[in-house]
A and B are shown apart, each in its own frame.
Chain A
Amino acid sequence: MRRILISFIVLIALFTSCLAFIPPTIKAESQDKLAINLFWGEGCPHCAKEKAYLSKILPEYEDKVSFTDYEIYYDFENSELFVNVLEQLKIDGAGVPFLFIGDKYYVGYGSDDTTGVVIKNMIDSCLESSCPDIVTSIKNGAPIPEQDPEPEEQNLANIEPSSSIYLEAPILGNIDLKSLSLPLATILIAAMDGFNPCAMWILIFLITMLINMKDRKRLYILGSTFIITSGLIYFIFLAAWFNFFQFLGYVTWIKFIIGVVAIVSGVLHLKNALSSKGGCKATNEEQRESIMDRIKKTISTKSFALSMIGIISLAISVNLIELVCSAGLPAVYTNLLSTISLSTWQYYSYLALYILIFMLDDLFIFFMAVRTLEVTGITSKYSKWSSIIGGILILIIGIILIFKPELLMFG
């Protein structure tokens, strides 16, 4: 087993080092001509459209422009250059296709009639004025002009499906994964990830104990502290995944590993759902008892500050265990999000939306308890279905990530 593992690691290392020696596909460079530099990814449908459009219109400009394209998914040198260019120019929200026309840039590609027209106007405008080749300057280590590069109006809504992937889901019917808008995809995936009433047992136990103490103040503060800390931990976890994918997500073997993780997670989701008799499984009795004892001790501590610290540390530890066990959907979601060109605040807003949807059931239980001083049960009748739908979704995404990753690239 160890030999197989070592061989696998060596193969990956060889494969990645081989990729590093593939030269960039530079066609021509000239100081006198207007430089057009395109960063693109093999298999990205919008990149293919933009390349086809450029190869159609560039011959019109003959000797006036020089075109260079940089493939970044498989070419490490090019992807390093891309990251370097973005860093130097302080551009957030990297994604491909990313086109530089001199020192102006345009992210994404919709259609020839929309983005195509904008690009043509940019080229014409740059031919009339002077647009220095900022990419080559950065590549050669030359100083960058003080003036920031100017983005044209970016058409970030150009997330068009290249083909449809249908998911036949009970209750929800046929879901075309590629036609889902990003907010809807966020809500759907977060709901599948979060809707698991059986996993809420710690919060329910905590609220029950707090209600029994007949201390509203403790219920408000300790209950909300537990929920807020849990949300923050999950947010940090999602942000870590997201940043990982933003920098390395386009690397083929990372997509492969995420695909394998997704398949394993999908199979486990399905196995658990199909073996469920309809109730909540009582697993790991020792761990449950230890958590219950910890909650009892923490909330009955006379010092309020110590109770708060205890609840925060409890929320951190139990959520960390939970996160490691259910990394599948967050990994898939953040990987998808990283393929879309958005600004930093938009990325984090989507992560916040994910957390809000993920925690809706916890918030419901808490607010009901605060209002009625009773613990409300949330039906777990549909948790079997949500696990089945979630399992199938994650399994399909895993298979696509391994065999046809370009289908999951929105950008």
Chain B
Amino acid sequence: MKVLKFGAVWCPGCLVMRPLWQEIEKEWPELLTEYYDVDENKELVKAYAIKEFPCFIFLSKDNTELHREYGEVSKDKLIKFIEQYQAQ
């Protein structure tokens, strides 16, 4: 499983989520995450039909979308999703 993180330098919610993800990535070193700046990755944003930021997409090993979250999400909630989907 991996998580795609979509954000922008101008988006206040993305700034709030940045340190939170840093903590999670430290606690879960095996977790795969990829960050995409929405202004530099417009095609990808379009492909995933993302309308709001920040957006976090949980993908399975074969890149099937398992779940997505918009806006500010609590650390507990994110960990719950990671635990739920980590085997996929």
Q: Which positions in A face B, CB cutoff 8 Å?
A: 197-198, 200-202, 204-205, 208, 276-282, 285, 288-289, 292, 375-381
Contacts and interface: CB of A to CB of B under 8 A. Distances in A.
B52 A205 contact: no
B51 A204 contact: no
Interface string B40-60: 001001000011111100000
| Nearest 6 interchain pairs by C-beta | A278-B71, A377-B15, A279-B52, A377-B16, A277-B70, A205-B10
A32 to B, nearest CB: 71
Given A279-B70, A282-B38, A378 B55 contact: no
How many B residues touch the partner, as a band? Answer: 20 to 34
Given A282-B38, A380-B71, A204 B52 contact: no
Contacts, number: 83
B77 to A, nearest CB: 11
Interface of B: 8-18, 38-39, 42, 45, 50-55, 70-73
A288 B42 CA distance: 13
A280 B55 CA distance: 10
A277 B71 contact: yes
B34 to A, nearest CB: 18
B71 A204 contact: no
Contact of A376 (B15, B42, B54, B73): B15
Nearest to B19: A377
Given A276-B52, A279-B53, A292-B39, A380 B12 contact: yes
A280 B15 contact: no
A281 B12 contact: no
27 contacts: A197-B12, A198-B13, A200-B12, A202-B10, A204-B9, A204-B10, A204-B12, A205-B10, A276-B52, A276-B71, A277-B71, A279-B11, A279-B52, A279-B53, A279-B54, A279-B71, A280-B11, A280-B13, A280-B71, A282-B45, A292-B10, A376-B15, A377-B12, A377-B16, A379-B12, A380-B12, A381-B71
A200 B12 CA distance: 8
Nearest to B11: A280
Given A278-B70, A279-B53, A282-B51, A380 B38 contact: no
Contacts of B45: 282
Nearest to A281: B52
